[in-house]
Amino acid sequence: MRYEVKALRGDETPTAWLLDAVDRADATSQMLARGYTVLAVRARTAWPARPWQRKRHFPLVLFSQELLALLQAGLALMEALETLTEKEQHAEVRQTLTQIIASLYEGHAFSHALQHSPANFPALYVAAVRASERTGDLPEALSRYIAYQSQMDAVKRQVISASIYPLLLFVVGGLVTLFLMVYVVPRFSHIYADIGSDLPLMSRLLMRWGQLLETHGTTLLAAALLVLGGAGYAATRPASRQWLLRTLWRLPGIGGRLRVYQLARFYRSLGMLLRGGMPVVPSLTLVSDLLESGLRDQLMQASARIREGHPMSAAMEQYGLTTAVALRMLRVGERTGRMGEMMERIATFHEEETARWVERFTKLFEPLLMAFIGVVIGLIVVLMYFPIFELAGSIQ
> For residues 375 and 44, what is the distance between their CA atoms, to the nearest angstrom?
47
**Could you tell me if 97 and 159 lie in one domain?**
no
Q: pLDDT tens digits for 301-314?
A: 988 888 888 888 99
Q: Confirm whether 51 is domain-assigned.
A: no
Is 131 part of a structural domain of the chain?
no
Same domain, 236 and 150: yes
Helix (H) or strand (E) holding 4: strand 2-8
With beta carbons less than 8 A apart as the criterion, state whether 336 and 270 touch: no
Q: Are residues 172 and 73 in the same domain?
A: no
Q: What is the pLDDT of residue 52?
A: 41
Residue 276 lies in a domain: yes
In a domain, 294, yes or no: yes
What's the mean pLDDT in 94-118? 85
Asked whether residue 164 falls in the same domain as residue 105, the answer is: no
- Residue ending a domain, among 121, 150, 165, is 121
Q: Which residue range(s) make up the domain with 352?
A: 137-396
Same domain, 219 and 117: no
Q: At what angle do helices 201-215 and 217-235 cross, to 10 degrees?
A: 90
* pLDDT of the residue at 396: 52
Task: Let me know whether 324 and 221 are in one domain.
Answer: yes
| pLDDT at res. 227 | 87
pLDDT top residue among 149 and 395: 149
193 band by pLDDT with thresholds 50, 70 and 90: low
The values of phi and psi at residue 122, to 5°, are: -65, 165
Q: Is the per-residue pLDDT at 267 higher than 50? A: yes
Indicate the DSSP class of residue 264. H
Percent of the chain residues past pLDDT 90, beyond the cut: 1
Query: Which distant-in-sequence residues (6+ apart) come within 8 Å of 271 by Cβ?
Result: 339, 340, 341, 342, 343, 344, 346, 347
Question: Does 104 score more than 70 pLDDT?
Answer: yes
pTM of the model: 0.63
| pLDDT for 46 beyond 50 | no
Mean per-residue pLDDT, 110-117: 84
Same domain, 293 and 390: yes
Residue 266 CA: distances (Å) to CA of 11, 21, 68, 263: 29, 20, 25, 5
Please report the pLDDT score of residue 42 as a whole number: 80
Cβ-Cβ contacts under 8 Å for 93 (sequence gap 6 or more): 56, 58, 59
The predicted-structure confidence for 323-374, as pLDDT tens digits, reads as follows: 888 899 999 998 888 888 898 899 889 888 888 888 888 888 888 888 888 8
* Cα–Cα nearest to 118, from 137, 99, 105, 132: 99
Mean pLDDT along residues 70-92:
87
CA–CA separation, 185 and 202 (whole Å)? 13
Count the Cβ atoms, other than its own, within 10 Å of residue 193.
11
Average pLDDT over every residue of 154-171: 80
Residue 394 scores a pLDDT above 60: no
Residue 164 confidence (pLDDT) above 70:
yes
Of all residues in the chain, the percent with pLDDT exceeding 70 is 86
Rounded Cα gap, residues 329 and 344, in angstroms = 10
Same domain, 235 and 328: yes
Confidence of residue 45 (pLDDT cuts 50, 70, 90): low
Rg, the chain, Cα only:
28
pLDDT band at 393; cut points 50, 70, 90: low
What's the pLDDT band for 21 if we cut at 50, 70, 90? low
Residue 333 counted as domain residue: yes
Query: Considering the domain boundaries, does residue 305 fall inside one?
Result: yes
Residue 266 φ/ψ, nearest 5 degrees: -60, -45
pLDDT in tens, 221-239: 788 889 888 887 877 777 7
What mean pLDDT is predicted for residues 31-49?
A: 68
Does residue 130 fall inside a structural domain? no
pLDDT for res 195: 56
CATH number for the domain including 159? Answer: 1.20.81.30
For residues 258 and 160, state if they share a domain.
Answer: yes
- Quote the CA–CA distance of 36 and 282 in Å, as a whole number: 12
State how many domains the chain has. Answer: 3
Coil, strand or helix at 237: coil
Helix (H) or strand (E) holding 54: none
How many whole angstroms separate alpha carbon 378 and alpha carbon 337? 63
- Can you tell me the distance from the alpha carbon of 293 to that of 291, in angstroms, rounded to the nearest whole number? 6
- 38 with 169, same domain: the answer is no
pLDDT at 375 over 70: yes
Backbone angles phi, psi at 309, to 5 degrees: 110, 5
Residue 256 belongs to a domain: yes
pLDDT confidence bin for 138, thresholds 50/70/90: confident
Using the predicted structure, report yes or no on whether residue 49 has a pLDDT greater than 60: no
User: Within this chain, do residues 194 and 278 fall inside the same structural domain, yes or no?
Assistant: yes
Distance, in Å, from the CA atom of 188 to the CA atom of 182, rounded to the nearest integer, reads 11
pLDDT at 387 exceeding the cut of 70: no
Q: Does residue 290 have a pLDDT over 80? A: no
How many CA atoms, within 13 angstroms, populate the side-chain half-sphere of residue 100? 25
**Could you give the 3-state DSSP secondary structure of residue 123?**
helix
Collapsed DSSP state (helix, strand, coil) of residue 364: helix
Say whether both 184 and 279 belong to one domain. yes
Is the pLDDT reported for residue 253 higher than 80?
no
Q: Distance between CA atoms of 76 and 285, rounded to whole angstroms?
A: 32
